[in-house]
Amino acid sequence: MEKKEKEFFNKIKTIAEEIKKNDNFVVLHHYDADGVSSGAIICKALERENKKFKVKWVKQLYSEDIKEIKGLGKKYLFVDFGSNYLKELKKEFGKNFIVIDHHQASGNSEFHLNPLNFGIDGGKEISAAGLAFLVAKELNEKNSDLSALAVIGACGDMQDSGGQLTGLNARILKEAEKEKIVSVKNDLRLYGRIGRPLAQFLVYSNSPVLPELTANEEACVQFLKNNHIPVKRNEQWLSYDDLGPDYKKKFVSALILHMQNHNVPEWKLQSMIGEVYTLEKEERKTPLRDAKEFATLLNACGRYGEADVGRNVCMGDREKWYQKALGLLQEHRINLRSGIDFVMQRGVEEKENFYFFDAEDKIKESIVGIIAGMLYGSGAIQDNKPIIAFARNEDGGIKVSARGTQDLIRKGLNLGGVLKKVCLELGEKSEGGGHKIAAGCRIDLEEKEIFLQKLDKKIKQSYT
Ligand SMILES: [Mn+2]
């Protein structure tokens, strides 16, 4: 074992020992799929050690949250965030806190587990759920059954986006395979292979967007018909996973051919095939059976302010909380669908350098970006310009979501950079940023027109 890796596993030991020695924990975890699954792993492990604990999730760790939980317990455990707050945590809790995180850290502390400090890529090779799993296993061999949650967390943070899990993730996966908790195969990686009827499988595909299929149900139904793919058997809608090997092959070749006919580049086609993870202990045909679908279920819970629901499902509930989670997932699908319908009906407006639409309060600000991205497949817009979506914030302001395409990025577009610049010009109240291909910001209602003008100029400049 390499020296650094040895140190990494020593740190895991240190943290497990610290947990063993103490009681009365307060667990604070992030609200996305990785945050929820890592929080659940830690809670389950504490439960099995007969430790008392309180647990709470937050969307983002703020100083107020840190102050708010002070006094609720004796030992504070931060999962999937905290690395950037070590100084503050020291000030509030002295030595009585543990951080398990994989984001960029500032400083270090005794009970701080972060792969980046050991030369391990926290963006690709392990997520908070993987770290939590290693700690849990160090606490008790029995916790090896939680490996599925580590895989779910990694998928939630898109650490499988290269087509497979690598590094420590791959090692955890091997273990999960050996214990028959997860099985791995190479297959079509589109989201919803198990839980969605075939037409919906295509309609809601947004990674990648399928030209003339994504967000266009009629076209998807026609596509299946033209290629003689059965969509029902015994009055039951079929999912991709229900198709036999021959029909699967037929489906994949038809889809690839369709993409090639729409000039989708080779690398993107290749990214559609890769590892898929089946959770063998989960019931067939449920969204818990596939790691990515499980992660989406958790994200849906978080998005609608119910990350507790997701955590309870992760911890094993398959009754009340699971039913509630299914309801939230259903609500999410309905919202996506009616959001798409709304935009298709209202139509998209156009400036010289981008498309845009204002959903006002008709689409939730938390999903308006997803819908904007899906429009590239719908036929409502071409892929020659980025798309900007507006929705109302809770505070009455405007949430701006921007989406582009790989091709535009190659030509120089950087949406995160552009939004940041525009916001700076609008004054300090507005803030913005994000990635090149997807970004967001908040502006005041009355700033919309000037924002559109400034944006048009800045996007143009980014190509030169
Ligand atoms: Mn994470």
What are the pLDDT digits (tens) for 136-170?
999 999 999 999 999 999 999 989 988 999 999 99
User: What band does 452 get if pLDDT is binned at 50, 70 and 90?
Assistant: very high
User: What band does 429 get if pLDDT is binned at 50, 70 and 90?
Assistant: low
- Which tens digit of pLDDT belongs to each residue from 242-253? 999 999 999 999
Ligand 1 centroid vs 122 CA: distance in angstroms?
A: 9
Ramachandran sector of residue 73 (left: φ over 0; alpha: ψ -120 to 50; beta: rest): beta
Ligand 1 centroid vs 157 CA: distance in angstroms?
A: 6
β 97-100/75-79 pair status: parallel
Ligand 1 centroid vs 361 CA: distance in angstroms?
A: 30
**Residue 427: predicted pLDDT:** 82
**Residue 302: predicted pLDDT:** 94
Say how far apart CA 87 and CA 395 lie, in whole Å: 31
Say how far apart CA 50 and CA 46 lie, in whole Å: 6
pLDDT > 70 in the chain, percent: 99
Ligand 1 centroid vs 357 CA: distance in angstroms?
A: 31
Ligand 1 centroid vs 28 CA: distance in angstroms?
A: 13
Ligand 1 centroid vs 258 CA: distance in angstroms?
A: 35
- Which tens digit of pLDDT belongs to each residue from 99-114? 999 998 888 999 999 9
Going along the chain from its start, the domains and CATH numbers come out as: 3-158 (3.90.1640.30), 191-338 (no CATH), 347-462 (3.10.310.40)
Ligand 1 centroid vs 80 CA: distance in angstroms?
A: 5
Ligand 1 centroid vs 454 CA: distance in angstroms?
A: 34
Quick one: 270 exposed, middle or buried, by C-beta within 10 A (0-12, 13-18, 19+)? exposed
Ligand 1 centroid vs 249 CA: distance in angstroms?
A: 34
- Provide the H-helix boundaries in 265-353: 266-270, 291-303, 307-314, 320-346
**Residue 432: predicted pLDDT:** 74
Residues facing residue 25 across a β-bridge? 53, 75
β 438-443/25-30 pair status: unpaired
Say how far apart CA 64 and CA 152 lie, in whole Å: 30
Ligand 1 centroid vs 115 CA: distance in angstroms?
A: 12
Say how far apart CA 47 and CA 21 lie, in whole Å: 14
**Residue 161: predicted pLDDT:** 85
**Mean pLDDT, rounded, for 317-332:** 96
**Mean pLDDT, rounded, for 162-180:** 97
- Tokens for 386? 């980025």
Whether the CB-CB separation of 108 and 7 falls below 8 Å is answered with no
**Residue 368: predicted pLDDT:** 94
**Residue 156: predicted pLDDT:** 94
Ligand 1 centroid vs 130 CA: distance in angstroms?
A: 9
Q: For residue 230, is the peptide bond before it cis, meaning its omega torsion is within 30 degrees of 0?
A: no
Ligand 1 centroid vs 430 CA: distance in angstroms?
A: 26
Is the model's pLDDT at 464 over the cut of 80? no
